């Protein structure tokens, strides 16, 4: 049986993952409005990835005999000054998520919950990737925003497709 403190912390993380999905969905809407359809599509794939992260926590809590309790999701920002600002925000947000995952690992260790410590390693690894992806793209967008190359980057980013099985294989 999983400790109630761990369940509560994971429930808060489910909310944080859903909020992440909401932010990226809002970013997709802003990008779409700017005519950057490829980048919007990239953000929609990111949204799906966050829903997948939430669902993975959901399933884990149930598997350990805990109770998933959902709470209100805060409204996301809706305006950004530029596409560069959007992706820099995404990178900052991923750094914040990483700090939250690290806090969860700290709690699991404190509670001597080895199963959860091990389960969380998937997220630890995932966050390395999430930070790397968003920081690389933020740099690329910053380099080309305002030039003709922006359209090429937009087209290239539009090729991203979210595949849950591929994410699972990275375990």
Q: Which residues bind ligand FEO (CB under 6 A)?
A: 17, 20, 50, 53, 94, 97, 130
Judged by beta carbon, residue 89 or residue 150, the one nearer ligand FEO is 89
- For residues 132 and 28, give the distance between their C-alpha atoms in angstroms, rounded to a whole number: 20
Contact 134, 76 (CB under 8 A): no
Q: Quote the tokens at residue 36.
A: 């950057």
Contact 83, 31 (CB under 8 A): yes
CA distances from 21 to 48, 62, 101 (A): 7, 21, 16
Judged by beta carbon, residue 52 or residue 80, the one nearer ligand FEO is 52
- Closest residue to ligand FEO in the complex (CB): 53
Q: How far is the CB of 126 from ligand FEO (least distance, A)?
A: 7
Q: How far is the CB of 92 from ligand FEO (least distance, A)?
A: 12
Judged by beta carbon, residue 59 or residue 149, the one nearer ligand FEO is 59
Q: How far is the CB of 148 from ligand FEO (least distance, A)?
A: 31
Q: How far is the CB of 168 from ligand FEO (least distance, A)?
A: 14
In this structure, the number of other CB atoms found within 10 A of the CB of residue 86 comes to 25
CA angle 4, 168, 13 (to 5 degrees): 30
Q: How far is the CB of 21 from ligand FEO (least distance, A)?
A: 8
Judged by beta carbon, residue 80 or residue 162, the one nearer ligand FEO is 162
Beta-carbon contacts of residue 51 (< 8 Å; ≥ 6 apart): 17, 18, 21
Judged by beta carbon, residue 17 or residue 154, the one nearer ligand FEO is 17
């Amino acid at each position: 049986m999983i400790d109630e403190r761990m369940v509560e912390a994971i429930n808060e993380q489910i909310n944080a993952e859903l909020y992440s999905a909401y932010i990226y969905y809002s970013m997709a809407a802003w990008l779409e409005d700017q005519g950057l359809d490829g980048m919007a599509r990239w953000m929609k794939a990111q949204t799906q990835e966050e829903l997948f992260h939430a669902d993975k926590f959901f399933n884990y809590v149930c598997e350990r005999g805990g109770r998933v309790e959902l709470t209100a999701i805060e409204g996301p920002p809706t305006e950004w000054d530029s596409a560069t600002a959007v992706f820099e925000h995404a990178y900052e947000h991923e750094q914040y998520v990483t700090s939250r995952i690290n806090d969860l690992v700290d709690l699991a260790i404190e509670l001597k919950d080895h199963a959860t410590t091990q389960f969380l390693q998937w997220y630890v690894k995932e966050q390395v990737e999430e930070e790397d992806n968003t920081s690389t793209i933020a740099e690329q967008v910053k380099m080309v925003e305002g030039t003709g190359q922006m359209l090429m980057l937009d087209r290239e980013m539009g090729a991203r497709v979210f595949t849950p099985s591929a994410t699972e294989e990275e375990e």
